[in-house]
Amino acid sequence: MIDNPNSFHLIQTCPGSQARAGELITPHGLVPTPVFLPVGSQGAIKTLTPEEVKDIGLVMVLANTYHLYLRPGIAVIEAMGGLHKFMGWDGPILTDSGGYQIFSLASLRQVSDEGVTFRSHIDGSQHLLTPELIIQFQEALGADIIMALDECPAHDDSLEKVQTAMTRTHQWAERCQKAQKRSDQALYAIVQGGTFPQLRCQSAEFLASLEFSGYAIGGLSLGEPKEVTLAMTEETVALLPENKPRYLMGIGSPEDIVEGIAQGIDMFDSALPTRIARNGALFTGQGRYNIRNSAYSQMEQPIDPDCDCYTCRTFSAAYLHHLFSCQELLGYRLATIHNLRFINNLMHRIRDAILNGAFDAFKKGFLAGYRTTDEDVRLNQKQKWLRSRNLSQ
Amino acid sequence: MIDNPNSFHLIQTCPGSQARAGELITPHGLVPTPVFLPVGSQGAIKTLTPEEVKDIGLVMVLANTYHLYLRPGIAVIEAMGGLHKFMGWDGPILTDSGGYQIFSLASLRQVSDEGVTFRSHIDGSQHLLTPELIIQFQEALGADIIMALDECPAHDDSLEKVQTAMTRTHQWAERCQKAQKRSDQALYAIVQGGTFPQLRCQSAEFLASLEFSGYAIGGLSLGEPKEVTLAMTEETVALLPENKPRYLMGIGSPEDIVEGIAQGIDMFDSALPTRIARNGALFTGQGRYNIRNSAYSQMEQPIDPDCDCYTCRTFSAAYLHHLFSCQELLGYRLATIHNLRFINNLMHRIRDAILNGAFDAFKKGFLAGYRTTDEDVRLNQKQKWLRSRNLSQ
């Protein structure tokens, strides 16, 4: 094993639950867990400056190797002194390998044991990425935590396809480990296996045996019902080493974070809070509300009177509604600040609850009060997924 | 005359020039002149929070009665406690009457002596605005400085049309003055007269006789050559009272501001610095540069090493170039901050030069070093205008 300044300390597992509090030590600072990472795929948290991200209380951000490789190019960022300096963020960074993004390209990519060939979604140019190159790129970018290249199957792929992708993910994880040269970055593996419990277990066991610095759970929340996401998370977590951080990729709604933490997850990332903010959907303790709704056009209170974010401290819901009506860019920004602060406050409350041995009560209270506005969408999605598997409810 | 807390103090006119330094006293604070007002038509300076606008050093902002009347509606802002509270800006505000915006609607509006009937550019609904209503609306909004309703002809309208518009503007100015009820707002008249020197003089003399709190010069920079804009400004200023502020509407490029101040102008507003920022055009002491240009893709220096704005203090030109390549909203914001800080610093340097009796030397030095990138556009525009008047160079 490489001698590495990164480490994870498990502080406490909440009695009667899998929920845990800990801390990540990284070369750019300490990260209390559970933690949510806002997504800055292109090297920027959409609409926000690094100072604002810090003011919100967020301590670690995610950027994407695939996006930065295509634009501005890894060599440019290296020449500018690395990703931290380039984006003006001196806190910890995690770079995703881009596996998920490349596999989302569907017809634009071809996968072989060597690696994945794809056409850029920007200019159609052809590229080959291998596990070795992905590590080389992430070492050049210089993030604190880097991710192995994985193959991410679709949520409705057959057992055979998912098994092939899993086996390849395992081979690539080993190659990534061998390719690693820098001793100051933590390399995490990504568990795959789709929605097949036996494959999830096989993947978790195999990767756990390789002693990575941390373990991500990939390939979930891609269209399968929420119950399946949770079941797969539970199966996987049970087989991951207790003393290593567990990272549930692409999950970021308040209710999913709470459920994920109950399963023993330490890290989350998702573009959801920032993406839906730009569509006007705002988190509150009572659930998601859409500021575009005309009900807000004359509301003098902030959108969430319980919130301490800059937006809620400064502006009425009516003003925010007005900015969205006019498509003023400031509106997208104010909504982004609110949603990220909501998530960050939620993480703090959860961590306190875990440390006080009261997570289970916190979870029940939170979920009882919180309503998502897309229950119908969820039910439709579930029926569609069950049909794709020739199952019925 | 209404007893009014607003006033203007002329501090110094620069020897050998018309350039002057002064200060506006308003209910929301003191405004050193010459001053540039950033445009927040809809009650927001695009992409920026009020705190950022203040950090840039800007002391007074402009909002637009026409835009706010249509959305969110005057009654909403009044119910929210007025425009200052609604937009979270506790400094001075000037509201434009919207005359220019309404007349830009062309076929969507019909003008009579009573007022102007127009169809909303948003939903096509029909509205009648009169001088009395415009004052009533601006009193409800509560800005520090409010503007009379004017009729703004096109730059290539005939003498007869321009004369009719001017006469109506004069009648409307008198009606606005009579309609004013609040005693804590300064009402400015708007000089019209197109590009006809005799009409400009007639308009300036007539309105000067009515003793408004300030005088705006409207209807310029609408397509006429720059020389004509300057000549009309000179004609008009000569006939305006020395002890009243003079406001050149819709002018905001660095070179035009410098020329305007040389003619004796105290106030400017323009969406240009913020609009071109969102297109990637950035001011520097050497002229305008476009950050989209690939020359910036690997530049480690800031776009303007002489600039002290947040953007230049924090990020490389390469990062800003990258944000524009990816259409990241943060890029539009960082460019906006830079351009407004450039203009604000320019205003400070000009005021110091005036107070030190050195404006003329400052002007020569500035214009010698400053290049606009659109000289060809200017020459084409000039030829087109001359043809429209059946003139040749």
Per-residue pLDDT tens for B42-79?
Answer: 999 999 999 999 999 999 999 999 999 999 999 999 99
Mean pLDDT of B193-209: 97
Q: Are strands A287-290 and A281-284 parallel, antiparallel or unpaired?
A: antiparallel
Residue B379 pLDDT level (bands cut at 50, 70, 90): low
**Residue A379: predicted pLDDT:** 63
Is residue B304 part of the annotated active site? The answer reads no
Q: In angstroms, rounded to a whole number, what is the distance separating the alpha carbons of residues B75 and B106?
A: 27
**A18 three-class SS:** coil
**Residue A375: predicted pLDDT:** 55
- What dotted CATH number matches B7-277? 3.20.20.105
Q: Are strands B7-13 and B20-26 parallel, antiparallel or unpaired?
A: antiparallel
**Residue B3: predicted pLDDT:** 59
Q: What is the predicted ipTM? A: 0.94
pLDDT at B104 over 90: no
A226 lies within 8 A of chain B by CB = no
Q: Count residue pairs from A and B with Cβ separation < 8 A.
A: 113
More confident residue, B40 or B154: B40
How is the beta sheet containing A116-119 ordered, strand by strand? A109-111, A116-119, A126-129
From the candidates A90, A96, A144, A266, which is the catalytic residue? A96
Segment B76-87, tens digit of pLDDT:
999 999 999 999
Q: What is the mean pLDDT of chain B?
A: 94
Q: Are strands B109-111 and B29-33 parallel, antiparallel or unpaired?
A: unpaired
Question: A208-212, A258-262, B176-180, B218-222: which range is least confident on average?
Answer: B218-222
Residue B2 pLDDT level (bands cut at 50, 70, 90): very low
Q: In angstroms, rounded to a whole number, what is the distance separating the alpha carbons of residues B108 and B124?
A: 9
In the block, tokens 């593996």 appear at A189
Range list of H helices, A90-225: 99-103, 131-141, 159-179, 197-208
Mean pLDDT of B140-167: 96
> How far is the alpha carbon of B344 from chain A, nearest alpha carbon, in Å?
21
B147: β partners: B188
Contacting residues of A for B44, CB less than 8 Å apart: 323, 326, 328, 330-331
**Residue A274: predicted pLDDT:** 98
From the candidates B96, B144, B150, B266, which is the catalytic residue? B96
Query: A-contacting residues of B 88-107, CB under 8 Å?
Result: 88
Contact B127, B73 (CB under 8 A): no
What phi, psi does A302 have (nearest 5°)? -70, 165
**A31 three-class SS:** strand
* Residue B368 CB-density burial (10 A; 0-12 exposed, 13-18 middle, 19+ buried): exposed
Long-range CB contacts for residues A363-367, cutoff 8 Å, separation at least 24: A363/A17, A363/A19, A363/A258, A363/A259, A363/A261, A363/A262, A366/A254, A366/A255, A366/A258, A366/A285, A367/A255, A367/A258
> How far is the alpha carbon of A315 from chain B, nearest alpha carbon, in Å?
7
pLDDT at B376 over 90: no
Residue numbers of chain A with a pLDDT score lower than 50: 1-2, 393
Q: In angstroms, rounded to a whole number, what is the distance separating the alpha carbons of residues A275 and B353?
A: 48
A229 lies within 8 A of chain B by CB = no
CA distances to A183, A288, A296, A313, B112 from A304, rounded to whole Å, are 45, 11, 12, 10, 47
B325 lies within 8 A of chain A by CB = yes
The answer to whether the CB atoms of A76 and B318 lie below 8 A apart is yes
B297 lies within 8 A of chain A by CB = yes
Of B72, B297, B329, the CB nearest to A76: B297
Domain ranges of chain B: 7-277, 283-375
**Yes or no: is domain A7-274 CATH 3.40.50.10190?**
no
CA distances to A287, B62, B348 from B58, rounded to whole Å, are 38, 11, 11
Contact A245, A33 (CB under 8 A): yes
- Classify each residue of B234-272 as buried b or exposed e, where b means 16 or more C-beta atoms within 10 Å of its C-beta: bbbbebbeeebbbbbbbbbbbbbbbbbbbbbbbbbbbbb
The answer to whether the CB atoms of B42 and A326 lie below 8 A apart is yes
Q: Which of B299, B329, B333, B338 to mutate to probe the A interface, most A CBs <10 Å?
A: B329
B243 lies within 8 A of chain A by CB = no
Q: Read off the tokens for A114.
A: 């060597």
Q: In angstroms, rounded to a whole number, what is the distance separating the alpha carbons of residues B220 and A147?
A: 59
Contact B297, A297 (CB under 8 A): no
* Residue A7 CB-density burial (10 A; 0-12 exposed, 13-18 middle, 19+ buried): middle
